């Protein structure tokens, strides 16, 4: 390692003030601090010691928490592919092969575009490269359909990073979740590519007889519109080529079409446990999103009249992307409510809005994305109320 350090020290002066490559100092710094934790020490006055944590480690922890979803997603893309083309005998290796072939390029494009923009902004604006995109760059592929054209991934990532984040001042300053901005961008800019039969990667192969690319949310919505029992419609879906794909158990495990990383509630829960155990994600937000969705589901059971509203409330926790959103999207500390009381309210409302949107807005079958973006915008308002309460307590104390 000494050799590597020496090499870095040898070129360092060129990037420092007065050096030939002065402009690129922050690009150099990003590489240097990636390889070596810096040798900076604390100030003469103040805290002489510092906690071993830094933003890099924090972000890395979140990435690790996403790995179960990523790995399962890779497998599942292949698995769904072979089911859809009627090749039930495909081996595990074949499935993973197809999954990798489809998923890896999306991950690469997302990171390359996003980090590229981050570096350019860091150089122009003369600030250090922030670690925020390490997480965003993984989140974006996980919320994309496996069939998404790569150029769209690139455009969406660029839009999200530039308009969603850098326009506000970079990591820590953004108002709405960057990864969801990317997804929302595609949703509204290229609706045909992110709805309909995109949730299964088909390639050039011929689909099996009876194949349908519908998601549980659209199946439920359609059944409800036609006045049919929703659970029956879900359970009978896939007969002949993917038996029982939308049963409750199968949806919990995640062997179903959907965005790359969001299909398995189980994997999301594992990720959630990692976030909670390491203290990097707010358990309050996760619990309250699930709680809010469940509560709204129960409420609709009581007052609703369509078959969809009669869907048992726990179904809402496993279908669609609720679990993924609750664990990885809603807990983004920058865009969530920042007060502890506020986090409960914020999560609860996300859960409730998700189920509301699912039930009453057939144009957007998946409610979690819009619910989170909506609450991102309202999070400062929630905080404002909580902070005002704190101020009020102080004021009351003074006047008593």
The C-alpha atoms of residue 375 and residue 370 are separated, in whole angstroms, by 8
Closer to another protein by Cβ: residue 209 or 398: 398
Contacts of 166 (CB under 8 A, 6+ apart): 117, 121
* Interaction of residue 288 with another protein, rule CB under 8 A: no
Determine contact, residues 375/343, Cβ cutoff 8 Å: no
Tokens of 105: 């390029």
* Interaction of residue 43 with another protein, rule CB under 8 A: yes
* Interaction of residue 60 with another protein, rule CB under 8 A: yes
Where does this chain touch another protein (CB under 8 A) — which range of 31-39, 224-232, 320-328, 353-361?
31-39
The C-alpha atoms of residue 306 and residue 303 are separated, in whole angstroms, by 10
CA-wise closest residue to 233 among 299, 307, 297: 307
Closer to another protein by Cβ: residue 169 or 312: 169
Determine contact, residues 386/342, Cβ cutoff 8 Å: yes
- For tokens 């890395």, what's the residue? 60
Kindly tell me which residue out of 14, 33, 212, 306 binds another protein, with binding defined by CB under 8 A.
33
Site residues for another protein, 154-173, by CB under 8 A, read 169-173
Closer to another protein by Cβ: residue 212 or 338: 338
* Interaction of residue 49 with another protein, rule CB under 8 A: yes
Sign of the CA dihedral running 83, 74, 291, 372? negative
* Interaction of residue 333 with another protein, rule CB under 8 A: yes
Measure Cα distances from 323 to 30, 134, 253, 267, 350 in Å: 33, 21, 12, 9, 12
Determine contact, residues 135/119, Cβ cutoff 8 Å: no
Kindly tell me which residue out of 37, 205, 377, 385 binds another protein, with binding defined by CB under 8 A.
37
Closer to another protein by Cβ: residue 20 or 45: 45
CB of 3 to another protein, least distance (A): 11
Both ends of the chain: CA-CA distance in Å? 64
Q: With CB under 8 A as the rule, give the number of residues binding another protein.
A: 61
Tokens of 28: 């150099």
Kindly tell me which residue out of 21, 35, 88, 92 binds another protein, with binding defined by CB under 8 A.
35
Burial of 210 from C-beta contacts in 10 A (0-12 / 13-18 / 19+): exposed
* Interaction of residue 52 with another protein, rule CB under 8 A: yes
Contacts of 46 (CB under 8 A, 6+ apart): none
Radius of gyration of the chain (CA): 23
CB of 39 to another protein, least distance (A): 5
Site residues for another protein, 253-282, by CB under 8 A, read 277-280, 282
Closer to another protein by Cβ: residue 34 or 360: 34
Report the alpha-carbon angle 105-106-109, nearest 5: 80
* Interaction of residue 125 with another protein, rule CB under 8 A: no
* Interaction of residue 387 with another protein, rule CB under 8 A: yes
* Interaction of residue 58 with another protein, rule CB under 8 A: yes
CB of 341 to another protein, least distance (A): 10
* Interaction of residue 302 with another protein, rule CB under 8 A: no
* Interaction of residue 11 with another protein, rule CB under 8 A: no
* Interaction of residue 209 with another protein, rule CB under 8 A: no
Residues within the interface to another protein (CB under 8 A): 1, 4-5, 33-58, 60-61, 64, 128, 130-132, 169-173, 277-280, 282, 333-334, 336, 338-340, 343, 387, 390-391, 393-395, 397-398
């Amino acid at each position: 390692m000494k050799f590597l350090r020496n090499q870095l020290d040898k070129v360092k002066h060129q990037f420092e003030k007065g050096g030939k490559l002065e402009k690129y100092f922050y690009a150099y710094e990003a590489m240097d601090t990636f390889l070596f934790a810096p040798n900076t020490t604390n100030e003469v006055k103040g805290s002489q010691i510092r906690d071993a944590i830094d933003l890099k480690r924090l972000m890395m922890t979140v990435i690790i928490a996403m790995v179960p979803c990523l790995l399962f997603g890779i497998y599942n893309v292949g698995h769904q592919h072979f089911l859809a083309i009627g090749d039930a005998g495909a081996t595990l290796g074949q499935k993973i092969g197809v999954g990798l072939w489809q998923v890896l390029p999306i991950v690469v494009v997302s990171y390359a575009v996003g980090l590229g923009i981050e570096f350019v902004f860091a150089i122009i604006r003369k600030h250090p490269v922030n670690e925020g995109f390490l997480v965003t760059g993984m989140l974006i592929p996980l919320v994309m359909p496996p069939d998404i054209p790569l150029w769209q991934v690139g455009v969406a990532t660029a839009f999200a990073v530039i308009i969603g984040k850098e326009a506000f001042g970079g990591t820590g300053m953004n108002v709405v979740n960057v990864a969801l901005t990317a997804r929302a961008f595609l949703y509204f800019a290229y609706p045909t590519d992110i709805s309909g039969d995109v949730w299964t990667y088909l390639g050039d192969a011929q689909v099996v007889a009876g194949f349908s690319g519908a998601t549980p949310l659209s199946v439920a919505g359609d059944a409800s519109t036609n006045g049919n029992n929703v659970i029956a419609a879900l359970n009978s879906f896939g007969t002949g080529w993917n038996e029982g794909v939308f049963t409750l158990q199968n949806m919990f495990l995640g062997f179903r079409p959907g965005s790359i990383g969001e299909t398995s509630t189980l994997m999301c829960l594992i990720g959630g446990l990692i976030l909670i155990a390491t203290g990097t994600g707010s358990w309050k937000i996760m619990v309250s999103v699930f709680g809010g969705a469940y509560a709204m589901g129960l409420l609709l059971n009581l007052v609703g009249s369509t078959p969809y509203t009669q869907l048992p409330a726990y179904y809402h926790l496993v279908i669609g992307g609720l679990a993924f959103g609750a664990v990885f999207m809603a807990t983004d500390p920058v865009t969530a409510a920042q007060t502890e009381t506020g986090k409960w309210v914020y999560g609860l409302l996300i859960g409730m809005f998700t189920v509301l949107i699912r039930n009453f807005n057939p144009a957007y079958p998946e409610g979690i994305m819009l619910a989170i973006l909506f609450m991102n915008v309202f999070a400062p308002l929630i905080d404002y109320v909580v902070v005002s309460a704190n101020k009020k307590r102080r004021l009351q104390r003074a006047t008593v």
